[in-house]
Amino acid sequence: MHIPPRVLTVAGSDSGGGAGIQADLKTMLALGTHGMSVLTAVTAQNSLGVQGAWELPAEAVRAQFRSVVDDIGVQAVKTGMLSSAVLVETVAELLADLRVPVVIDPVGVSKHGDALLAATALDAVRTKLLPTATVATPNLDEVAQLTGVRVEEEADMRRAAAAILDFGPRWALIKGGHLRAGHGDGEQAVDLLTDGTEEHWLRAPRHDNRHTHGTGCTLASAIAAQLAKGDTVPQAAMAAKHYVTGAIAAGFRLGGGIGPVDHGWRLRGEH
């Protein structure tokens, strides 16, 4: 009997299905793993933005985590929206006892600019959550929020990575998808993966598609899935970059705003 690698996502729900828990589970399935979830918050969310968010109690988060980990077990964990200092500290405490790879996506704002992390939780992310990470995957806005480092061009990404690594993750993946510099052409989406010694620049074509809701969740979940399958961190990041690039290329319109990336693009043999 084939039992797929087991991956746990600890994140919020996106009722529109493009990001959050929904994106995580779709990605994990597409990459041949069994996804499981710990729900941290419920959002009323669609292609236009987040209309409401309701955080779950810490005891509910703790109970879900223990229920899955103690019985089924996990081979990698990914975190997303944690919203408050209490939830950040609760999840950090739970992760500290695990001996599996952990991917921390320090979600700060939604694709539409809606705040998903309380300002009072930033210090807990820095001091409690990031030290548990095998890989931390901040975008440029989250780097600025956590470290004060503002990335204007590719060369600044090294400084950003160093500032994130100072908080304790083993690897930092600085996502440069919002960076339009690229030596003036802006034709590539560039990420930097480093542990402070090794450096891997991950480059992919930049697709002219505005329907990119869920890219951060998808990338972090893809890394976790690959780590659960036994990849090294650089291997996992490169495979995840390939997967999310295809998902962005196949992103589609939903509703009246920004649609999601297509998590199932490989299942149909596209690209």
The residues annotated with a catalytic role in the active site are 175, 212, 214-217
Phi, psi of 108 (to 5 degrees): -110, -45
Question: Which phi-psi region, left, alpha or beta, contains residue 29 (left: φ > 0; alpha: ψ -120 to 50)?
Answer: alpha
- Side-chain-side CA neighbours of 91 within 13 Å: the count stands at 38
Q: Pull the structure tokens for residue 172.
A: 């930092």
Question: Which phi-psi region, left, alpha or beta, contains residue 17 (left: φ > 0; alpha: ψ -120 to 50)?
Answer: left
Taking residue 221's Cβ as centre, other Cβ atoms within 10 Å add up to 34
- Spatial separation of the C-alpha atoms in residues 5 and 3, rounded to whole Å: 7
Q: Which helix (H) or strand (E) holds 86?
A: helix 85-95
- Spatial separation of the C-alpha atoms in residues 166 and 145, rounded to whole Å: 15
Q: Pull the structure tokens for residue 133.
A: 């990470």
Q: Which residues on neighbouring strands pair with residue 192, listed in sequence order?
A: 174, 201
Task: For residue 28, give every residue at least 6 positions away whose Cβ sits within 8 Å of its Cβ, in sequence order, or none.
Answer: 7, 9, 34, 35, 221, 224, 225
DSSP 8-class letter at 182: G
CA 167 to chain centre: 18
DSSP 8-class letter at 263: T
The SS3 call for residue 56 is: coil
